[in-house]
Structure 1
């Protein structure tokens, strides 16, 4: 079986024969949604609606429930019948325009910055075809600069290959179940992250305290300046040592901000991190998400610390507790003025004051948070693997 014959590499055994070839215009028709602007949104009452930005941030292929409502008059809205494919018409990144979703619900207002595709083919199959095979094809048709547009007239002549309705339905159901599994894992992750956030707030406000082995209260927390509990070192330049398969992983802001997913390696380490160190991002753009983000080192002599990254080793402090108080520290985030790039200095960090419990209470706090972080990492990795597997299946099951 070859793709030239319009037959997929991987197929359900009950199906055979070539897929049909045609354009979007051959298999359905487009139209635009109507007004549901941000100013019209209400918390109660109104008409449930989908806005274009939510296709990027909230929905991930299938819309089973909506949370937004508009007070725009019904006569000025475009309501769904159920089964429409929603395509964002406005965005910033060309490759994001293929993030389409099937709207399963009737009587939902569809926002004006959304292109709607209506087809008698299976909408779940078409949605997965767009998301899995047409990212580059959509991106090529995007117009504009920092804010781009994708008009449906540019999509009508795109050629797609489709099987019989029965095979479409089987493929659509298969990926719908896989998407549902990913969605459930993402909800589990969000719930655990929210739970961790709640524990952190209660612990560091001292609303939640631990007891010692005898059930007695630990001593009151003592205010300390960070220079009393850390040994600080600035990272060093490693750009000249970057190689394809180096001995050390280079810790830069991109590595930390992606939790280690985006990495470079170096052949030589000017400054190596040791187990128990906390590595902290010192520079970021205005309102960035990387400033003061920390990385906890779990293995010695594996990580080379780049410039604009701080390395901090604890003094008479539990290593993971130090990581907890440094990671996105609220005092350090105040240096971001939202206008210019922030560059934290050594003294900015070392002069911070924090309330610190005794070592045994630090250990109990750290144990709880490490266990939660471990669960978060495992779920995140599972989600990543599921998404990789889905893309592999899309490549093999679609022509």
Structure 2
């Protein structure tokens, strides 16, 4: 019997499972076209600052369209198109290059033009709830279908004719609506938490700008001003800045091996201990930095900053984040940042007591960001579990 594992009370009817083509033929889906425009495909110089939105898969943002990001066509040009003309309420599915993202088109425009990367599904709302269809496209059942097709080809796409061979499973309309409303409420929570994370990150960025430009200064516990900040080179405040030397990986070892962006394996013996700041030395991530502590190993594609005492690692980590080490990276073929560059980096540093005040203040913000992110991740996992159990 075609019913999901998790179901709302009051519903017992079987779900109707058939191909997309079947639902097109019985007029449940009354429109299904992509943006394959052939000779009309717009050239870069044909776009304008205003007009009719031209939507690509890259404009899909968490189930909606980002109209601030998309391109626009002059209305005279847009009127020439015969295919890929999507309207308010259509469900959009990314089928080419980027496959899988989907969105509901919510717009006051009378229509938009889809690029070759997107397909629209227009529902008879008396038969299919468009929000339900949006979530169905995100379900494991549907994802596994198009993933299986792509695994059999070297091309990352699911053409419109292939889409019509995929299966949908629909309950009666009231159950569709119940599911759609429930998952919409969860998405609204995800949106709220995402905005909270973004606002906290923006707040920290603004605070760091004030702190490291010294527009915001801290006072000691007795309310007195701290001394002026000391100018110097990063090398002056460091015991050493050098590449890691650990090259004997042992996946059965007890000690973490750190690479350019985090843990990459294990070692049987540690080469470094205590606090350090690690920085990606080479490759696309050159300039990325993070803090470590304990007993561990470090690969040779990673730079180690070991500070002189007394200095606060958290302060220096935030200072270097603020200074954006990516701007030091050079080389087009293989981006690189060197220990010599870091040693010669000019910085301003306060006393250890003010360093500690600043570090503690920023840590409080980081903890709030981490807490909000943990809440966001938990809701996303909850939604993922529902998508696995509420659809067949």
Report the TM-score range of the alignment, normalised by the length of the smaller protein.
Answer: 0.7 to 0.9
TM-score (norm 1): 0.82
1:90 is aligned to: 96
1:336 pairs with 2:344: no
User: Per the alignment, in what secondary structure is the counterpart of residue 21 of structure 1?
Assistant: strand
* CA positional deviation for 1:332: 5.5
Post-superposition shift, 1:22? 0.8
Q: Using the TM superposition, give the Cα deviation of residue 40 of structure 1 relative to its aligned residue in structure 2, in angstroms.
A: 5.5
- Give the equivalent residue in structure 1 for 2:129: 122
The answer on 1:167 being equivalent to 2:175 is yes
Instruction: Tell me the residue number matched to 1:292.
Output: 287
Residues of 2 paired with 1:30 and 1:14: CA distance?
33
CA RMSD, 1 decimal: 2.8
Bigger radius of gyration among the two: 2
Counterpart residue number, 1:370: 363
Offset at 1:367?
A: 1.7
Q: Equivalent residue for 1:61?
A: 63
1:312-351 equivalences in 2 (<5 Å): 312-315=305-308, 316-327=310-321, 329-331=323-325, 333-337=327-331, 339-351=332-344
2:138·2:387 contact (CA, 8 Å) conserved in 1?
no
Measure the CA separation in 1 of the matches of 2:54 and 2:385.
33
> What is the CA distance between 1:194 and its match in structure 2?
1.6
Paired residue for 1:249?
256
The answer to whether the Cα contact below 8 Å between 2:186 and 2:383 also exists between their aligned partners in 1 is: yes
Structure-2 separation of matches of 1:192 and 1:282: 29
Q: Does 1:206 align with 2:214?
A: yes
Aligned residue for 1:253, secondary structure, equals coil
SS of the residue aligned with 1:117?
strand
TM-score with structure 2 setting the length: 0.83
Q: Distance in 1 between matches of 2:248 and 2:369?
A: 32
Contact 1:277 1:313 in 2 (8 A): yes
Equivalent pair of 2:90/2:123 in contact (CA under 8 Å): yes
- 2:249 and 2:257 in contact (8 A); partners too: no
Quote the Cα distance in structure 1 between the aligned partners of 2:86 and 2:367.
42
Distance (Å, rounded) in 2 between the aligned partners of 1:164 and 1:42: 44
Matches within 5 A, 1:173-322: 173-213=181-221, 215-232=223-240, 233-237=242-246, 240-243=249-252, 247-255=254-262, 263-266=263-266, 268-274=268-274, 276-285=275-284, 290-297=285-292, 299-301=293-295, 303-315=296-308, 316-322=310-316
CA contact (8 A) 1:46 1:69 kept: no
Counterpart CA distance in 1 for 2:301 and 2:277 is 14
348-357 vs 214-223, greater mean Cα deviation: 214-223
5+ residue gaps, structure 2, are 24-28
Pairs aligned (count): 368
Q: State the alpha-carbon separation in 1 of the partners of residues 63 and 256 from structure 2.
A: 35
Shift of the 331–14 alpha-carbon distance from structure 1 to 2, 3 Å rule, reads closer
Aligned partner of 1:131 among 128, 138, 146: 138
Query: Cα deviations across residues 310-365 of structure 1 (Å, max 9, x unaligned)?
Result: 3333222112111112337435532233x121333332322222111122221222
- The equivalent position to 2:87 in structure 1, one of 78, 81, 88, is 81
Check 1:168–1:37 CA distance in 2 against 1; reply closer, same or farther (3 A cut).
farther
Larger deviation, residues 28-37 vs 384-393:
28-37
> 1:24, 1:158 within 8 Å by CA — same for their partners in 2?
yes
CA distance in 1, matches of 2:382, 2:264: 24
Call closer, same or farther: CA 1:172–1:197 in 2, change over 3 Å.
Answer: same
